[in-house]
A and B are shown apart, each in its own frame.
Chain A
Amino acid sequence: MRIVKYILRRIGFMAVTLLGVSIIAFALVRIAPGNPVELLLPEDATEEQINAMEERMGLNDPVLVQYFKYIGQVLKGDLGYSYRLNKSVSQLIAERLLQTAKLAVITLVWSTIFAIVLGILAGINRGKGIDVFSMMFSLVGQSVAPVWLALMMILLFSVKLGWLPTNGSSGWQCMIMPSLCNGLAQAVLVARLTRTGMADVLSEDYITATRARGISKMKVYSKYALKNALLPVVTIIGARIGHLLAGSAVIESIFVWPGMGQLLTQAIGQRDLQLVQSLLLVSAFMISLANLLVDILYTFVDPRIQLT
């Protein structure tokens, strides 16, 4: 029963958070300078045309009315209409989310496998070569600017070697560089956590006791240590899924990947009100949902967690 109460409470908090995001997003796009209507119409548009357009977009209503209309729409599942791109926002986001999700899945798979293997090896062999390598990898990986890394990769793999295309979204070759850039930060985080987790668990008494009973090293590592060492790693990966699905504006812009992040930068530049609002809302929804699911999962996986 407590778990149900906990979940309901968390869902309530999530609703409040999303409401807050919607208010902030709505306010931001309306305070921003520049008239969205004038950007839509040709320069020689008459007063009447501008008025008609404002009427159509609902910009003549009082601000509060506009907000509640928008929220009413969203609750019905309609994210609005982009007058700039002449498409419904839901459709635009669905298209872009698919592209970002493709990238996110690949990024998640390689970075998780690579980082967990590296972290486990480093945690088991503390102070040895592989540990030093993993430490250097994390420190350098944390210190490189993603923009710079992306440009350096383009310089090396596209300009000098000509192996990979600089941009585009067709074919698997186009996904290599963006997913490497996106996944680096992720891999660093996971590798560090796995290493500390593994090292901490291995110094616990129960591991020593298991070893003393004559159980082989491999079995101790894989059966007794790994499960506990990976607990915090699961949280971090889960929490990052939401962020990965929201897309990275920088990486997507550099590699011209038609995803969520790139759509947002475009939408802000073009003062596309409903698109910006809905993009922020959808991103916030995915991130909060991922966090919520991880927390709920965690209460089942880790019996030590006390529900509050």
Chain B
Amino acid sequence: MSFKIFFRRAKKSTFLKLGICGFLILLMLLFIAYPLMPYDWAGIDFANKNLAPFKDMKHIFGCDSLGRDILTRCLYGGRISLLLSISVVVFSVVIGTLLGLTAGMFGGWADIIIMRITEIVMSVPGLMLALCVVAVLGVNFTNLIIVMLITSWTGYCRLVRGQVMAIRNSEYVKASTVLGAKRFSIMVKQILPNCVTPIIIQASQNLGSVILMESGMSYLGCGVPLPTPAWGSMISDGRQYLTVAPWITIVPGIFLMFTVLSFNFLGDGLRDCLDPKNKN
């Protein structure tokens, strides 16, 4: 698809605009808004224990049970959550695409084996599998990426395989074969470009779902280990203080919601703009 059509559609898509704005604001908050995060994310200060939001303008969103500034922790934790979700999505896209291409192009046993593996992974609820794998590997940041990778590559694999199967028998691919193109060059030049659009759409939504899954795993004690802040671990960390200091839980949840929301806007917007079947 030409960039001209893309830009023409992008101008009309409210979702895409909202998504891009949200994402840019998030990036600015997390990476250049140093005046908002003057404190040490691990700096314990018992004088401000469970300080309520808006009471002291030095700590706008209040402090947690150890007197650490919640805004600082949220912004710092956002980097960690974002790093986690981007790593998981990038690795999943690479692995899923390679395996999906292999299954679709070569067919036969490669196809049967790869598809059975995706079915095995998909037949166990993601969080259950993740919990069992974490129990084996132990809790740390790298292992968290590996665990989430295990549950999220399957989507891309099936997507790419489906796309390959649909295109493999199309006339232009047959024409290239007749003209003497090698299988590998057909794969890279003719088939892969057709997979890019659906992959981008799925990846932008996957970014949000990884952050959501991290929050679930944190609650079960398998998230980013303390004291490093990540939104999920901050939410579950605050649950003991829900009655005395609910803001410890509320604030990171709102950050998380707006981030995932902007990823979802981005995904929906990209779908509107990139889908070749979309005629407006």
Q: Which residues of B contact A154 (CB under 8 A)?
A: 242
List B residues at the A interface (Cβ < 8 Å): 116-117, 119-120, 122-125, 127-129, 131-133, 135-136, 138, 208, 211-212, 215-216, 218-220, 231-232, 235-236, 238-239, 242-243, 246, 249-250, 253, 256-258, 260-261, 264-265, 268
A16, A28, A139, A159: the one contacting B135 at CB < 8 Å is A28
Contact of B117 with A20 in the complex, beta carbons under 8 Å: yes
Quick one: given A140-B261, A284-B124, are A264 and B242 in contact (CB under 8 Å)?
no
A17, A32, A33, A249: the one contacting B220 at CB < 8 Å is A249
Name the residue of chain A whose CB is nearest to the CB of B131: A268
Chain A residues touching B, range: 35 or more
Answer yes or no: A134 CB below 8 A from chain B CBs: no
Contact of B133 with A28 in the complex, beta carbons under 8 Å: yes
Known contacts A28-B136, A147-B232; 14 additional CB pairs below 8 A are A140-B257, A142-B260, A143-B261, A144-B257, A145-B211, A145-B256, A148-B215, A152-B253, A155-B249, A268-B132, A268-B135, A280-B128, A283-B123, A283-B128
Q: Which residues of A contact B117 (CB under 8 A)?
A: 20
Kindly state the separation between the CA atoms of A6 and B247 in the bound complex, as whole angstroms: 55
Quick one: given A154-B242, A264-B128, are A250 and B219 in contact (CB under 8 Å)?
yes
B129, B235, B243, B261: the one contacting A148 at CB < 8 Å is B235
Kindly state the separation between the CA atoms of A220 and B183 in the bound complex, as whole angstroms: 49
Name the residue of chain B whose CB is nearest to the CB of A276: B132
Contact of B208 with A143 in the complex, beta carbons under 8 Å: yes
B258 CB to closest chain A CB, in angstroms?
Answer: 8
Contact of A265 with B220 in the complex, beta carbons under 8 Å: yes
Q: Which residues of B contact A155 (CB under 8 A)?
A: 242, 246, 249
Residues 5-23 of A at the B interface (beta carbon under 8 Å): 13, 16-18, 20-21
Quick one: given A13-B116, A28-B132, A145-B253, are A287 and B123 in contact (CB under 8 Å)?
yes
Kindly state the separation between the CA atoms of A250 and B128 in the bound complex, as whole angstroms: 10
Residues 137-168 of A at the B interface (beta carbon under 8 Å): 139-140, 142-148, 151-152, 154-155, 159
Quick one: given A147-B215, A287-B125, are A17 and B257 in contact (CB under 8 Å)?
no
Answer yes or no: A288 CB below 8 A from chain B CBs: yes
Name the residue of chain B whose CB is nearest to the CB of A268: B135
Return the 8 tightest CB-CB contacts between A and B, nearest first: A148-B253, A20-B120, A145-B215, A143-B260, A143-B261, A284-B123, A250-B216, A32-B136
